Amino acid sequence: MELAQARKARITPRMGGRILADALVAQGIDHVFEVPGESFLDALDGLYDVRQKLKLVTCRFEAGAVNMAEAYGKLTGRPAAAFVTRGPGACHGAIGVHIAMQDSTPLLLFIGQIPHEDAGRDAFQEIDYRRMFSSVAKWVTQIDHVRRIPEIVAHAVDVAMSGRPGPVVIALSEEMQRDMAEVPDLPRITVTPAHPDPAALSQLRAMLSRSRRPVAVLGGSCWTEAGRTAIHDFFRGNDIPVAVGFRRQALYDGTTDNFAGDLGVGSDPGLIGKVKEADLILAIGSRLGDAATQGYTLLDKAGTVPIVQVHPDGGEIGRVFRPALGIVADLNCFAEAVAAMEPVQPNWTQWTRELRSLREAQRAVPNYEGVLNLGTVMHELEAMLAPDAIVTTDAGNFAGWATRFINFRDGQRYIGPTNGAMGYSVPAAVGAKVVFPDRMVVSLVGDGGFLMTGQEIATAFHHGVAPIVLVFNNQMYGTIRMHQERTYPWRVSGTALTNPDFSKYIEAFGGHGEVVSETGEFTPAFRRAVESGRPAMIELRVNPEQITTRQTIAQLRAGKAPPKPAAKPKRAAAAKHPKPARAGAGGGKPRG
């Protein structure tokens, strides 16, 4: 009754911008990340009216704004909205849409559109967003009629969150934002999540009881705390070794004695070997994508090794690897159902311990050359991370230090772009800290990635939050240099960098800067950064020679002669390009 009255009361004439703001609130959106444009002045004005219910986070770059919204989606399982202007704003923001698509993250991106009457004239900043985003968004639409705002916003949220979550792009035609209409807000709906079929669960149990060497590959998005606990209970109860997918590290508590490590870029070759020996693969939430399957080489496509694949979207099941059993289910519901299942008497206890000991061997820190041992630094960081810390990462070889040496624990989160986008980590950390100001937030980023979007640290100052950024400075685009040395040894081309003084950079904003050149300096520097209470940056002066956690540049070059200095390439020889290397630490094809 009350609701009906409230709805009735709402039906007074409102301007499009206000209807949009109210529609966002009605659909449970509580954060908007934006860079303003004159193309959505009316929407901005509408947001002013709902500022008590919806936090508006003003950013410095559209890639930063959309990355922050994406990080919100990763951390909460619900979409945030990003608002960007037409043309250039949409182009800058596009990277976040691609991340959300490949990482299965719910996200809404609103773009101010040009006036209707100029459509199709190649008008100032005009883009047809349906064409532009058709292959990177889950759904692209445009609101042309003010009366349809509540319907389209409600549907956009449903689409972003249903099945395989993803990004929805909504262009807002300019005059529509100013039109008046009398339309009601629409309520949020509750859709019962897809529960797993009990018969499929019995089949899964039967397959498990026949197995001698099972391995779980855990991935996917929108896990709840309850879902994570339940899947943990299931794996522990059955003592199944668990490998996490690419950049899904914190889905499983690394300290448990059935955690076997991560499958992604630069993974442990020992783990990869073991997965190839498995007699049953339980892919829970994982799409068994490119990175996790080492360039689609890890598993057997013909299905001689049975795979059970559980995913909320049937269209993702068996996309490359054909499973013996596919289960369409909400991951959290699936987890609760299998946690309640009678455990199987494991036939594989020894096997699980073998996988675990491989992980432990990986975590032991070798005697790296040089005075800054990043393995030890990561162990020290692990010890100082708050129990509910959020760690964000970028793309780059530096990320291998965290995945190899840190065991994330329950309650902690580790998020990064599974699509390998540089420039994610700092905005993601700023966004995370705005949303969770009481949690410790640490950004891990390379010197290359930092100078892509590191200026978003200004947003942290603007909103009064203090993330801590660890910049791994090796003075190069190290990942590409690694591929270069494998494929074109000794020929360094386009991968070296010249950097600013990072601690002065953060100090110029009023933040706390530290430089760490030796292992022993890290812990006190990190503690000072935490205690400063200000946005902080710690520059780690990395030995550039140690190009991955497993290899040095000298090892990559070993046995390959340096090129003769002045020899001009002959025409015939120039045509013979070497093929890109496929193997290396972690195997797979080159991935940036």
Phi-psi region of 186 (alpha: psi -120 to 50; beta: other; left: phi over 0): beta
Q: Does 472 bind ligand TPP (CB under 6 A)?
A: yes
How far apart, in whole angstroms, are the C-alpha atoms of residue 6 and residue 12?
A: 11
Least distance CB 511 / ligand TPP (angstroms) = 20
Which CB atom, from 239 or from 485, has the smaller least distance to ligand TPP? 485
Which CB atom, from 361 or from 492, has the smaller least distance to ligand TPP? 492
How far apart, in whole angstroms, are the C-alpha atoms of residue 71 and residue 96?
A: 9
Q: Would strands 180-181 and 14-15 be described as parallel, antiparallel, or unpaired? A: antiparallel
The residue from 46, 241, 449, 489 that contacts ligand TPP (CB under 6 A) is 449
Q: How many of the chain's residues bind ligand TPP (CB under 6 A)? A: 21
Least distance CB 537 / ligand TPP (angstroms) = 14
Residue 331 interacts, among Mg ion, ligand TPP, none and using kind-specific CB cut-offs from 5 to 8 Å, with none
DSSP 3-state assignment of 544?
coil
Site string for Mg ion, 437-466 (x = CB under 5 A): ---------xxx------------------
Paired residues of 415 in beta bridges: 392
Which CB atom, from 214 or from 446, has the smaller least distance to Mg ion? 446
Residue 66 interacts, among Mg ion, ligand TPP, none and using kind-specific CB cut-offs from 5 to 8 Å, with none
Window 471-490: residues binding Mg ion (CB under 5 A): 474, 478
- Number of residues that make up the chain: 592
The residue from 139, 477, 502, 505 that contacts ligand TPP (CB under 6 A) is 477
Q: Are 213 and 351 in contact (CB under 8 A)?
A: yes
Q: Are 415 and 247 in contact (CB under 8 A)?
A: yes
Which residues lie below 8 Å from residue 49, measured CB to CB, with a gap of 6+? 18, 21
Which CB atom, from 155 or from 591, has the smaller least distance to ligand TPP? 591
Which CB atom, from 214 or from 420, has the smaller least distance to ligand TPP? 420
Least distance CB 447 / Mg ion (angstroms) = 4
Which CB atom, from 87 or from 375, has the smaller least distance to Mg ion? 375
Task: Name the one range near ligand TPP by CB under 6 A: 146-154, 473-481, 513-521, 556-564.
Answer: 473-481
Q: Which residue bears the tokens 């339940």?
A: 230
How far apart, in whole angstroms, are the C-alpha atoms of residue 292 and residue 306?
A: 17
Distances (CA, A) of 396 to 124, 331, 469: 37, 29, 15
DSSP string over 468-514: EEEEEE-SB-HHHHHHHHHHSTT---S-B-----HHHHHHHHT-EEE
How far apart, in whole angstroms, are the C-alpha atoms of residue 474 and residue 398?
A: 9
Q: Does 480 bind ligand TPP (CB under 6 A)?
A: yes
The residue from 177, 479, 484, 503 that contacts ligand TPP (CB under 6 A) is 479
Q: Are 314 and 295 in contact (CB under 8 A)?
A: no
Window 383-402: residues binding ligand TPP (CB under 6 A): 394-398
Q: Binding residues for Mg ion, per CB under 5 A?
A: 446-448, 474, 478
Q: Binding residues for ligand TPP, per CB under 6 A?
A: 394-398, 420-423, 446-449, 472, 474, 476-480, 592
